[in-house]
Amino acid sequence: MYKGSFVAMITPFTKNSEVDEKGIKELVEFQIKNGTNGIVPCGTTGESPTLSHEEHKKVVELTIKAVAGRVPVIAGTGSNCTREALGLTSHAKEAGADGALIITPYYNKPTQKGLYLHFKKIAEEIDIPIVVYNVPSRTGVNMLPETLAELAELKNIVAVKEASGNLDQMTHIVELCGDKITLLSGDDKLLLPVLSIGGKGVISVVANIIPRDVSDVVREFEEGNYQKSKEIFLSKVYPLSNAMFYETNPIPVKTSARLMGLPSGDLRLPLAPMSENNLVKLKANLIKFGLLEG
């Protein structure tokens, strides 16, 4: 279940800034048609911080309905309040999600003990596979490999989305946890290196616009075609991944989707439209890689 390319799907909005139900269906079809192995709604890329709880639940439900069991749906259900994360995770289970992506609590900067107790409580109360999401640049706290190794002893802590950017830390996770937990890259630019140390896939931003290529990097690697995997990664996935971070994610990827004619809509404040200089660079990349006509 936790192998391959999982897209951290954008949340499309209508012209009135409402959740675009038809757009979600179209995006799901685009992803599945192009080889994506799983869908992750309501992550950071899905602008979860600006979704109301009602909208959050609606996006999860719409995604599950659109996927219709064809690939796993791992719903973003994290919060910096354990009670709130429990509520969102419980809803995801009831709605039929295959798993939950739960970010380490942000802003309140818990200790390692607090991180452990947070995830332990959710894992013990909600019987659903949990993917721990570690992204210190956004949360202000880094889950250490030793803490993750403790969590890996709990039966439904099954994977980690590692976005620390620290390959040494990720290698230590593999060393400590072995097969007890699946390592997924949380950074598209590190996908190939993460696969090389034992990672099994990625929860990807750039897969919103090049799902087939990201999926192929992982598939070719898993099949032992390392040179082919490397070629796809270096020739397209890596440079486009860099372009997706000209500004704060998901500004560039959502802008790219709109330019490509995919359901997108505007960004919600406080995320602002791209600057003109960065937009010019982004368009040049999309043209270069055949995603936009020149």
Under a CB-based contact definition with an 8 Å cutoff, are residues 43 and 101 in contact?
yes
Is-catalytic flag, 15?
A: no
Determine which one of 161, 189, 236, 283 is catalytic.
161
The residue type at 128: I
Burial 192-207 (b: 16+ CB within 10 A, else e): bebbebbbbbbbbbbb
Which residue is it, tokens 């043209």?
A: 287
Determine which one of 2, 57, 58, 133 is catalytic.
133
Estimate to the nearest angstrom the gap between the alpha carbon of 139 and the chain centroid.
15
For residue 46, what are the contacts with CB-CB under 8 A and spacing of at least 6? 8, 9, 10, 11, 40, 59, 76, 250
The number of CA neighbours under 13 Å toward the Cβ of 38 is 24
Is-catalytic flag, 133?
A: yes
Rounded to 10°, the helix 82-95/112-125 angle is 30
Annotated catalytic sites, by residue? 133, 161
